[in-house]
């Protein structure tokens, strides 16, 4: 399957970002026909949303590692003080 036709929901963050970067470069060049530019723009919006979702999921998993006075390590959500 062509990378451009790959289902966005199954793409990794890196794949999505790479394709989005390619779309931006293509649109900035102004070389694509109008209809193709519109399709690319719409796919770019979907890729952007997917990247934001993946980043949100990653952020929710981030934990801060802390050590108590005895050196015992533990984790807690990053946003806790």
Per-residue pLDDT of the chain (81 residues; tens, 9 = 90+): 344 468 999 999 999 999 999 999 999 999 999 999 999 999 999 999 999 999 988 887 777 777 788 888 887 777 655
Instruction: Let me know if 69 is exposed, middle or buried by CB neighbors in 10 A (0-12, 13-18, 19+).
Output: exposed
Q: Which domains does the chain have, with CATH numbers?
A: 3-77 (1.10.287)
Q: What is the pLDDT of residues 33-52, one digit of tens each?
A: 999 999 999 999 999 999 99
Residue 6, C-beta contacts closer than 8 angstroms, at least 6 positions apart: 15, 19
The reported pLDDT for the residue numbered 2 is: 46
Q: Which pTM value belongs to this model?
A: 0.70
């Amino acid at each position: 399957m062509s990378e451009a036709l790959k289902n966005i929901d199954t793409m990794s963050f890196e794949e999505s970002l790479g394709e989005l970067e390619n779309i931006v470069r293509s649109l900035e060049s102004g070389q694509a026909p109008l209809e193709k530019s519109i399709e690319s723009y719409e796919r770019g919006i979907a890729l952007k949303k997917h990247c934001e979702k993946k980043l949100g999921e990653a952020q929710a998993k981030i934990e801060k590692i802390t050590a108590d006075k005895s050196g015992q390590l533990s984790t807690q959500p990053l946003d806790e003080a």
